[in-house]
Structure 1
């Protein structure tokens, strides 16, 4: 026995579906079935969306990493710039301290003074000379004494209109008359070519000299005004087999560190040497 035609069966199926949807809409009998189906379908939806989610995640992370790298580079460059500026501030602070010491020293000098700055240092290991940014146009003259905030540096030996060359007291060809500040004993301090060493020749073994004595300019020869610190005695060795003792002194001036210098001018009453 044949069943109903296909058209009738489709019509019955549609009517049944409409009836079920109407009943479900009113009484929600299919919610449980729908919930179960959603649990089954969710993993499939997650797998379908996974490539797109991974692409967005990678893009966001790459963009964030690029931004962090750029910010890190900018911060590193700024840090280097600030460190350079900080070093410059340290240098300016040290220069300011040196100038204050120099001005304080200038106020104690009775003669007229001119503040100069070193431009260059002679690289010859057997010479101790410096170039100064003051010349004859500024009143600098040959033989003019050169000081820093701590003592005698040397004297001017060559002058041009805008610069001058000075011979330091440690140059092997330099000699300066000195006296012991404690007792007035006169001597000559000779340069040795070493930065921190002077020799005091022809001192008898029985001379009243002690380690630590301060040597000052004696004013003899009228080249250096009297009373300026020159050096401090560091060695005094007596040799009975020799007529003279071995005497070594350390310069009071900062020969290897001073950048600013004082050029001492003669007073009106002081004759030229």
Structure 2
């Protein structure tokens, strides 16, 4: 007997048959869940095919995500590197500001126990050679700076003003060969003269007898004699004592306490007895109007004579 669909049935009969079969199956599945197992089996059977069909789209999406993610990561890394560079530059600036703040605090603390009026100044230029050791500060006559005014840093005496302008002033360092400063040994009060040698780490203490009580490590302070430097400011520490037989005086070398070749901020000091007076040609303090700034050579001579 031939199959049903091969007995001359037409297309319309076959269509009606499949429609009725489909409706029967849907009703059976909806009302009685009769095809649940069949659907699960068919779903499992076609899963590999569904995955294979979806694989190209998944691969293309993954590749696109990778390219986009790589580009975003590269861009983000570059942005982070630029930001890190900016932050490091700012950090360097903050470190500089922090160091400057610490120096200023130390500088101001060094004069906290003194009654002298002081003014913070910053170095504009430095000339350190064997024949001329001077610095220029950013304070001048309009700030009350006067010739002969003491200059110190956080550690000790640096020098004195020799020339003034409206906005700047030139100071001669204690290490200059033309500078001499009356000092005394802090331990025993022995008075002497500290002269510059042209080297920022070396002073010579003149006219000390061979039998004088001077020891390595002694602190040398300003004596206050000469009227320019106030007393008891640290000047130097003795580093070498050579007693020379047959010579009237010993050879004594001291190292300045001030950081002559490193300090950036300094203090201009108005001693109590100086007031607002100026230094005259012979080194005495005058109460009258400030004298005009002298020529450098003349001032050097006065500086060496009076300290």
- CA separation of 1:14 and 1:30: change in aligned 2, threshold 3 A: farther
In the alignment, structure 1 residue 162 sits paired with structure 2 residue 167: yes
CA RMSD of the aligned region, Å?
Answer: 3.5
Bigger drift between 105-114 and 174-183 goes to 105-114
Residues 5 and 14 in structure 2, CA contact (< 8 A), matched pair in contact too: no
Query: Match for residue 221 of structure 1?
Result: 226
Aligned counterpart, 1:128: 133
Once the 2 structures are TM-superposed, how far is the Cα of residue 208 of structure 1 from its aligned partner?
0.8
Q: Distance in 2 between matches of 1:93 and 1:176?
A: 34
Give, in angstroms, the shift of residue 153 of structure 1.
0.5
User: Aligned partners of 2:130, 2:64: CA distance in 1, in Å?
Assistant: 65
- From 48, 51, 58, the equivalent of 2:53 is 48
Give 1:50 deviation, angstroms.
Answer: 1.6
- Secondary structure at the counterpart of residue 120 of structure 2: strand
Distance in 2 between residues matched to 1:133 and 1:268, nearest whole Å: 19
Residue 164 of structure 1 deviates from its aligned partner by 0.9
**Which residue is equivalent to 1:8?**
8
Partner of 1:267: 275
CA deviation map 1:24-48 (0-9, x unaligned): 4455688777666555544333233
3-state SS of paired residue (1:155):
strand
Q: Aligned pair count?
A: 272
5+ unaligned residues in a row in structure 1: which ranges? none
Q: 2:75 aligns with which of 70, 75, 79?
A: 70
Matching residue of 1:212? 217
TM-score between both structures, scaled by the size of structure 2? 0.71
Offset at 1:69? 3.4
Aligned counterpart, 1:187: 192
- Out of 136, 145, 148, the position equivalent to 1:143 is 148
Partner of 2:302: none
1:85: Cα distance to partner? 3.7
Could you report, residue by residue, the CA deviation over 1:230-258 in whole angstroms, capped at 9, with x for unpaired residues? 11112223344765433221212232333
CA distance in 2 between counterparts of 1:180 and 1:110 reads: 22
More off after superposition, 225-234 vs 69-78: 69-78
More deviation in 214-223 or 176-185? 214-223
Structure 1 residues 10-19 or 249-258, which shifts more? 10-19
1:54, CA displacement in angstroms?
1.1
Choose 74-83 or 49-58, whichever is displaced more: 74-83
**Displacement after TM superposition at 1:152 (Å):** 0.8
Q: Which deviations, in whole Å up to 9, do the C-alpha atoms of 1:102-132 show, x marking residues without a partner?
A: 3344454444433322122226465322111
SS at match of 1:204: coil
CA contact (8 A) 1:111 1:267 kept: no
Q: Which moved more, 1:78-87 or 1:158-167?
A: 78-87
Match of 2:280 in 1: none
